[in-house]
Structure 1
Amino acid sequence: MSVETLENAGRSWPEHWQRVSLADAGRWMSGGTPSTSNEAYWGGDIPWISGASMKQFRITDSERCVTRFGAENGSRLVDKGAVLFIVRGMSLKSEFRIGVTQREVAFGQDCKALVPDDGIDPYYLAYAMRVLTPTILRMVEETSHGTGRLDTNRLSALEIGVPPLSEQRDIVAANDAFERRIGDLERVAQKRSTLLSAAVSALLRSQGSSGMTLGTMMVSCDPGITLGAHRAPQKRAAGYLRVANVRMGWIDTSDVASLESTSNDRPRYELEVGDVLVVEGHANPEQIGRTALVGPAEEGLLYQNHLFRLRFDRNEVLPEFAMLWLNSEAVRSYWISRCATSSGLYTINSRLLADAPFPVVPIEEQRKIVETWRTGIRAVDSLHGQIAKLRTIQQGVVEDFLSGRTRVTRT
């Protein structure tokens, strides 16, 4: 392991630490994809990790698996304790995915593996690389296909500080303590979400559909803007919501795309607080027609044509109640039994939407159901707030440990 001491490029670590370039931190390996036309290569018991499947820091499984024959003919194998990270893909535009293998896996060409040398803990190495995410993302280049590509020569030249192995493991243990606490809170939040969903579902089931349809209860149902080359953002860029932004019961605004707007777009397609958005189609039948409510954060955005915007007379139908009902088991069963599929994509149209069952519920009863939901959501949101705060504290503390500014105190 080639090392230096003291400072380089404005960074320094304690004198007893080693300065190590990522190129010298271990053995680098490139992955690959076995031929998909050879059935003998696929369907085995070895997870094949790709950019799309690397979603957890502790890498254990993948939706696609290869046989050992396949791994040896087109891919690469690494054992437990290898650091895997993404070097090509759309995700590189916003995040640097990295993790540590928990078992033997194969991996694709969108990934690189770094098998650490003796004296470097794999988790310490992964944490030290992950803390460099802002620097790494600035290295990402865009290919002609629009995906991100990471120059591994530049990446491997980055340096990390490496303390003695005992200190590395103390830092890993301190980070794991944060992860355990965060994991406990996440499990509580998930349990409360499940209980809330069950409670609201029970309230909705008690209403029945009353033989009425959504079309008789809504004021309007409008699809959004049809995209095309002429909509590439130029002089009048405007944010718009896509299918990916509309989740079941909430809107994800972490990645809002832009389009070129015209003077006629805002009167027709601008979203208002209380608008209800319904997804037109999805490859997963369980996700057909998933519905979310537009809030203050989304007000003023536009929306694409694969979403329906519903509006109601709020003296008769509360938008929150409409969202809850359209996400209910009764309506999901209706979609699954009637929706059409084309090339693996299940879709609904405006007529099918209008014919969906909808209960006639007194406004006061709607308010009670909505308030039950709001109370539960506030409790879950409070837990997510605690988790976010703990994540911020964790990041600062671990960065201090990795820089040597703070030492782990054993108790």
Structure 2
Amino acid sequence: MNDDVFLPGRLATLCVPLKQVTEPLSAGITLGPQRAPNRHPGRYLRVANVRKGWIDTSDVATLEEQKQDRPRYELVRGDVLVVEGHADPGQIGRAAIVADEHSGLLYQNHLYRLRFTGAVPEFAVLWLNSPYVRSYWMTRCATSSGLYTINSKLLEEVPFPALDEVEQGRIVAAYAVVERRIAALERVRAKFRSAEAALAAEVFANVDSPWLTVRLESIATVCAGVTLGSEPVGDATVELPYLRVANVLDGRIDTSDLKQVRILRTQYERFALRKGDLLLTEGGDLDKLGRGAVWDGRIDPCLHQNHVFRVRCGEEMSPDFLALYTSSDAGRAYFQRVGKQTTNLASINSTQVKHMPIPVPSRAEQEKLLGPIRSVRSRVAAVDRQLSKLRAIQQVVLEDLLSGRCDAGHPDVAARS
């Protein structure tokens, strides 16, 4: 069955359709104007709540709960939710298990609920999020208007390993060994991040500071980037990677998903990034205006989009110190004060960025203040490297367990982590 899906070793002959180990699957509540959240509010999970392997309840929406909803859509411990549609094809079909703290919540129609009768739910989540099932969806998902979707029939036919539940439990336990080590490192990382935030706050805590305050435009140049659409063609053009708003996060640049844009070669210097450029976002939620980070030059050449401002400092200002200030309470307050708020979006313009008042201690004092913060950041970077290594090991362990290349009880499983 499904011979175009890569299934390793023994799984090529051991898989059965998913529907053989579950109750009939069920989609959730269809939302509509007839459901007013303020009348008989019921909390429900959306696509945004179902992450890869876990459920995020930091932002749970409400709808008007009707008496027929609970028998059909109430979640219980051990249910598995699967994402039905997403703008990113790599995110469709991602799955997470319902834990005790999620019991009693409802779920929307863009999620499928699975109740397993012949499999360990935790194992099912590992399998549904695996590269093997990802390859299944990449060749079968439908796409329309920029949205990728899967249907219930395809989900019911997903190849599922016909391993006994004892072996499934062993695989879950072996995977969890690495998961616990990752969680411990993430707690260490969070402590370092808290220490970094505290040190940064101390730098600007003294409101009576004698530092000179000037407009940003007097110590740096501010430029918008490439405007997308109507790209030029011909030999006088070049196609290059560029950073968009989604790549510029608070305190870091994410280059895991870079897109390309074509520009005239003569425009390169205008839009090119250099190591040490501070990148600030133009729009988003009001409290996220001006979020940004210093570009480390990891990709060269690289451009930036027009919704990302490039700030290039002069000799008297350290990019790291400027980034520290723009992300401080005072910096964020400025962006929130001058930002333009519309129904769904807030934004700032280049003039407002240029006019931002910036405290300017001497360059020597900037470096002194940055010292402890850079020390903490180096520790965060070391933890990040360990996390990346562990996550890679975790994936290899899972693939080896599923393929039968190693046994869940073998000491090598723990040794590799």
Could you tell me which residue of structure 2 aligns to residue 219 of structure 1? 220
Aligned residues: 399
Gapped regions of structure 2 (runs ≥ 5): 412-417
Shift of 1:321: 1.4
Question: Are the equivalent residues in 1 in contact too, given 2:240–2:260 (CA < 8 A)?
Answer: yes
Could you tell me which residue of structure 1 aligns to residue 96 of structure 2? 99
1:80 paired to 2:77? yes
SS of residue in 2 equivalent to 1:359: strand
Question: Are the equivalent residues in 2 in contact too, given 1:278–1:307 (CA < 8 A)?
Answer: yes
1:65 paired to 2:66? no
Could you tell me which residue of structure 2 aligns to residue 390 of structure 1? 390
Matches within 5 A, 1:270-349: 270-283=272-285, 285-313=286-314, 315-349=315-349
Question: Are the equivalent residues in 2 in contact too, given 1:87–1:111 (CA < 8 A)?
Answer: yes
Could you tell me which residue of structure 1 aligns to residue 18 of structure 2? 22
Matches within 5 A, 1:143-292: 143-150=143-150, 152-206=152-206, 208=209, 210=211, 212-215=213-216, 217-228=218-229, 230-231=230-231, 236-283=238-285, 285-292=286-293
- C-alpha separation in 1, matches of 2:289 and 2:88: 25
Amino acid at match of 1:182: I
Could you tell me which residue of structure 1 aligns to residue 414 of structure 2? none
What is the RMSD computed on CA atoms of the aligned residues?
Answer: 3.2
- C-alpha separation in 2, matches of 1:358 and 1:248: 19
For residues 270-298 of structure 1, the C-alpha deviation after alignment (integer angstroms, 9 at most, x for no partner) is: 11111111112222x22111121111124
Taking structure 1 as the reference length, what is the TM-score of the superposition? 0.86
Greater mean deviation of Cα atoms: 206-215 or 365-374:
206-215
- C-alpha separation in 2, matches of 1:276 and 1:329: 18
1:52 paired to 2:48? yes
Shift of 1:344: 3.7
Shift of 1:136: 3.0
Question: Are the equivalent residues in 2 in contact too, given 1:59–1:101 (CA < 8 A)?
Answer: yes
Question: Are the equivalent residues in 2 in contact too, given 1:162–1:168 (CA < 8 A)?
Answer: no
Could you tell me which residue of structure 1 aligns to residue 138 of structure 2? 138
Question: Are the equivalent residues in 2 in contact too, given 1:95–1:133 (CA < 8 A)?
Answer: no
CA 268–108 in structure 1, closer or farther in 2 if over 3 Å, else same: same
CA 221–392 in structure 1, closer or farther in 2 if over 3 Å, else same: same
CA 250–410 in structure 1, closer or farther in 2 if over 3 Å, else same: closer
- C-alpha separation in 2, matches of 1:70 and 1:156: 29
- C-alpha separation in 2, matches of 1:409 and 1:43: 50
Taking structure 2 as the reference length, what is the TM-score of the superposition? 0.85
Question: Are the equivalent residues in 2 in contact too, given 1:275–1:319 (CA < 8 A)?
Answer: yes
- C-alpha separation in 2, matches of 1:9 and 1:327: 46
- C-alpha separation in 2, matches of 1:350 and 1:409: 59
Question: Are the equivalent residues in 2 in contact too, given 1:96–1:136 (CA < 8 A)?
Answer: no
Gapped regions of structure 1 (runs ≥ 5): none
Amino acid at match of 1:125: A
Question: Are the equivalent residues in 2 in contact too, given 1:218–1:310 (CA < 8 A)?
Answer: no
Shift of 1:316: 1.0
- C-alpha separation in 2, matches of 1:108 and 1:386: 37
Shift of 1:99: 0.6
Question: Are the equivalent residues in 1 in contact too, given 2:36–2:63 (CA < 8 A)?
Answer: no
Shift of 1:10: 6.7
